[in-house]
Amino acid sequence: MSKIGFIGAGSMAESMIKGLLKSGMMSNEDIIVTNKTNEKRLEELQARYGVKTDFARSFIYEEADILVFALKPKDAESGISEVRPHLHGQLIISILAGISIETIQHYAGGKSAVVRAMPNTSAAIQQSATGIAVSHEVTEEQKKKAVELFETIGHVTVLDESQLNAVTAIAGSGPAFIYHLIEGMERGASELGMDQATAKLLICQMIAGAANMLQDSGKEPAELRKEITSEGGTTEAGLNTLAAYQFEEAVVDCVKTATKRAAELNEMFSASTYK
């Protein structure tokens, strides 16, 4: 049975722990968690999930054959460098935004087996859309294990690392863009006299239904849009307003800008590493 050590105890680490336990993939005895200084947070996780917690990180390095780095990017260099003397073939999984596999390997002091993952906040309800990329050193068995691990918190897609910046924009930042759309729809409903609770319920069900329809029907979004749109009808009127505000172009630019920023963060951390 594998044992997994979490270096960092934030919300994403907790979501992964919850998924692992709920799926039965691991028991609480197989999960060890540490962080830098927040003892109260470790006590919370121990009480909530029964996992092992310890500030003595050497214990984690000796026990775990999978190490998950769930640190803040600014703590990556110190956090991963600390592992260097204790590596003995463990699989390293990084959920650090903006830190490339090459940079992680540099911090770790060698060509370690590294899986770089980009889950999103929907991991909290086991509905994440996660993209992962693997280094050449990762074996097929390790890759399978990583996929299984992230499947406990949602859907997993294995990609080339060059595509992870786009994954960050679409799947990582994407929920925020959808929530912003919902804010606008709620505001519109409110200005038409609908109470917020009713509007929220209708909008949530509409989005969930539309997503399921797109996934299950096998049809393209443009086709589904046209099926709803009648000439001279309400949908056409609304779509014409969106077109007047160049809605589609704004969304395309939004994704491109977020992807560009992800690339800039990659470059920033890479540059700081090799100075």
Summarize the annotated binding site for NADP(+) as residue ranges. 7-12, 70-73
Total Cβ atoms within 10 A of residue 210: 14
Do 89 and 83 form a contact (C-beta atoms < 8 A)?
no
CB-based contacts of 184, cutoff 8 Å, min separation 6:
none
Q: What is the CA radius of gyration of the chain?
A: 21
Burial class (CB in 10 A: 0-12, 13-18, 19+), 99: buried
CA distance 23 to 80: 28
Q: Single out the residue of 121, 110, 118, 117 nearest to residue 142, CA to CA.
A: 117
**Which residue is it, tokens 């949530």?**
204
Q: Report the SS3 class of residue 59.
A: helix
Total Cβ atoms within 10 A of residue 46: 15
Going by the annotation, the residues of the binding site are 7-12, 70-73
CA distance 144 to 116: 14
Q: Does an H or E element contain 63, and which?
A: helix 57-63
